[in-house]
Structure 1
């Protein structure tokens, strides 16, 4: 456990948030909260094995590559978190147990056990607040230059969860505002049926996964969507490129509509 008085990130760790194409002209603002499995140096391994640190509990494998593919294709701004969600899950508010989980699926996380209020506050201050402040700043800049903003967050999920196989391949998720999701689902239905695509699967609003959408999309009246891709489909560059191209098409059709 990192002492409360010690900074969460060192100078060697660098900033927690990265922004690519900050002035991209597309209305789409692409966000990837679970882009990295990297841990800040002072946390070591959090008491986890290498297997656990490479697994889906630490990050969303392939999600950043897909998000980058969409960003490149549409010349859209991309924002992503540079550190593992095991330290802080930026798609969860500070009061959520899932923000700094003690257990994820079958893995206990020793370095997150019985965290005190000071340490939880330190992680929130170091990772969650700067990440979402960076998104707010981008939105303010876009408003100032009269640029429309549409929010899309990109995630991946494991094919087998708690021993159960998931048949869904792409999830199109939304909270109370379904405009962008509706458009993507309609585009998917109208085109070649290449993937098994479901609305609000394998997660939905009841699972608390729409935090970023609510914070930056719903609250501002922006169209928004959360994209979940089964990670076995994006385990290599070829799969990532194919998926990025497919999702770019769905997003573009929905934006145009």
Structure 2
């Protein structure tokens, strides 16, 4: 475990979390925005507790849904254990969104005027270990002859810049739409209880497909990013309902893609 430039202490543990690392199912699940935890070294980034509990700091409910899917599919799950406000692991180091100075309507004072050394420390402590772990899992699965679909799990706020979002589940993709197409086709077959849309509320132009492209594109792996509106997964009942629906979608998509 690496600790760079004093960003993380040993007592804060590994920045990368794993569930079911030896899972042999057909999918690998990644949750880049699983946690709102901040390293002690960055304080509160100049933010109130209410902001740090909100979607600005993490994707509420996403990890809980990902854990249910991990169990359903015997899937390895890799997740980030620190807030995306310190480093957003779904953004490359050169992206302004990797260490955002603003998030929606909120200024992030602790991210203003970061030095090159501070940016490098965050990249080395959080981004690089996270994506190394994803790559290690993929390489181990390739070596074992396991076919793999990369699924990244996210949630989004129902109100953004004061506007209500009607979409409830987003099925996102970049250039490779094969698995997203299969999921959307399965959605039609299942008579979805949710309002499901392609590349909403975000799409490739918003820079949200970094993890998919980094790990799946070069290998030709099937991949998809799932977004669930976070008010729908705010409690265990909602998480179970959404996970059950996504399990059905993913199972049908796997059959259609085989």
TM-score by length of 2: 0.97
1:137 aligns with 2:136: yes
Secondary structure in 1 aligned to 2:52? helix
Distance (whole Å) between structure 2 residues aligned to residue 172 and residue 223 of structure 1: 13
Distance (whole Å) between structure 1 residues aligned to residue 104 and residue 192 of structure 2: 31
Secondary structure in 2 aligned to 1:154? strand
Quote how far apart the aligned CAs of 1:6 are: 3.8
Quote how far apart the aligned CAs of 1:20 are: 1.1
Distance (whole Å) between structure 1 residues aligned to residue 182 and residue 38 of structure 2: 37
Structural RMSD (CA): 0.9
Distance (whole Å) between structure 2 residues aligned to residue 8 and residue 142 of structure 1: 32
Q: Deviations over 1:36-89 (max 9, x none)?
A: 000011111111001100111100000000000110111111000000000000
TM-score by length of 1: 0.97
Secondary structure in 2 aligned to 1:12? helix
Q: Match of 2:109?
A: 110
Distance (whole Å) between structure 1 residues aligned to residue 27 and residue 231 of structure 2: 26
Kept after mapping to 1: 8 A contact 2:26/2:73: no
Quote how far apart the aligned CAs of 1:192 are: 2.2
Aligned length: 253
Distance (whole Å) between structure 2 residues aligned to residue 141 and residue 191 of structure 1: 34
Distance (whole Å) between structure 1 residues aligned to residue 207 and residue 165 of structure 2: 19
Distance (whole Å) between structure 2 residues aligned to residue 93 and residue 220 of structure 1: 19
Quote how far apart the aligned CAs of 1:212 are: 0.3
Secondary structure in 2 aligned to 1:38? coil
Q: Which ranges of structure 1 fall in alignment gaps of 5 or more residues?
A: none
Misfit runs of 4+, over 4 Å: none
